[in-house]
Amino acid sequence: MIWTQIFTSPNDYVILYDGALDAAGNIIIGGLYRDGAIDAYYAKISPTGGLLYEKTYNGTGDGSDAFTSLVTKDEYTYLCGTAGGIGTMSDYLILKVNSNGEEMWAAHYNGFGNGEDVAYDIVLDHEDNVIVTGSSIEQAGQFCTTLKFSNTLGIYDHEGLGPHALEIYPNPAGERIKLKYDVESADAYYNITGVSGKLIKTVKLSEVAVHEIDLGNVPAGIYFIQLSDGLKHYYAKFVKQ
């Protein structure tokens, strides 16, 4: 044995689920940390076994948080797992951190069933887009749900669906924004969430192809619209000024 590094919580325990090497040969590990509450946990170890950092991530809700898988590219680490949501059981959690473990961005995904959503694996494609897959509770039951993110946190594809089923304008938006969609279903509806995963509103759609959304009570920031027809899902990102 060359070296040993032991991780523990002062009052409870640490569970590690995955690890990967970065470009410098350091080891990044991820899992969960319990010290009363259960938070997602990640740490970095040098090639000689020295602890470079250890950090926790607390989701927006009161549930359990954990990282289940991670991947590295250059000086960045991308982790996925699950985090407690607000008004939901748990959501997909995706986190990008730099070489010091500092958060670059975080994203959450709440399935349309508001149930238990867990991302189990994460990869980067040839353009460094972030792809995560896992188990998600949707309106019609439990599914394997795959999401694709741009590296700068722009959700633009979901399970290979085309981008033209959903359009939003103007973007950036002021007090109102229009939602144009090409979905023929009596069960169609949309969610608006913030970058933290907090659910802002859920609205059932009529058969009218253009829907106007009142953003008067929505603070300025970045938001995601998730449109569902009960089986398929479409995404768009907008900025509220």
Domain that holds residue 224: 163-240
Residue 23 shares a structural domain with residue 133:
yes
Residue 132 shares a structural domain with residue 188:
no
Strands 103-109 and 210-214: unpaired
Residue 86 shares a structural domain with residue 135:
yes
In a domain, 5, yes or no: no
Residue 176 shares a structural domain with residue 141:
no
In a domain, 8, yes or no: no
In a domain, 6, yes or no: no
Residue 135 shares a structural domain with residue 174:
no
pTM equals 0.68
Identify which of 4-18, 54-68, 157-171 has the greatest average pLDDT. 4-18
In a domain, 4, yes or no: no
In a domain, 144, yes or no: yes
CATH of the domain at 212: 2.60.40.3080
In a domain, 78, yes or no: yes
Closest CA to 222 of 166, 156, 176, 154: 154
pLDDT at position 61, please?
Answer: 61
Residue 90 shares a structural domain with residue 29:
yes
Number of domains in the chain: 2
**DSSP secondary-structure letter at 173?**
B
Angle at Cα 84 formed by Cα 83 and Cα 88, nearest 5°? 125
Residue 18 shares a structural domain with residue 134:
yes
Residue 143 shares a structural domain with residue 175:
no
For every residue of 110-167, DSSP letters joined together read --TT-SB-EEEEEEE-TT--EEEEEEEEETTEEEEEEEEE-TTS-EEEETT--GGGEE
Residue 140 shares a structural domain with residue 170:
no
The last residue of one of the domains, among 97, 128, 153, is: 153
Say whether pLDDT at 60 is over 80.
Answer: no
Say whether pLDDT at 169 is over 70.
Answer: yes
Give per-residue pLDDT as tens, 110-155.
776 677 889 999 999 998 989 999 998 766 677 888 888 877 654 4
Query: Phi and psi at residue 163, in whole multiples of 5°?
Result: -85, -5
CATH of the domain at 117: 2.40.128
As a dihedral over the C-alpha atoms of residue 239, residue 190, residue 85, residue 118, rounded to 10 degrees, the angle is -110
Identify which of 42-46, 87-91, 159-163 has the greatest average pLDDT. 42-46
Residue 177 shares a structural domain with residue 69:
no
Amino acid at 176: R
Residue 44 shares a structural domain with residue 135:
yes
Query: Phi and psi at residue 104, in whole multiples of 5°?
Result: -90, -45
Amino acid at 95: L
**Coil, strand, or helix at residue 99?**
coil
The last residue of one of the domains, among 102, 126, 153, is: 153
Amino acid at 163: P
Contact 156, 162 (CB under 8 A): no
The last residue of one of the domains, among 153, 180, 210, is: 153
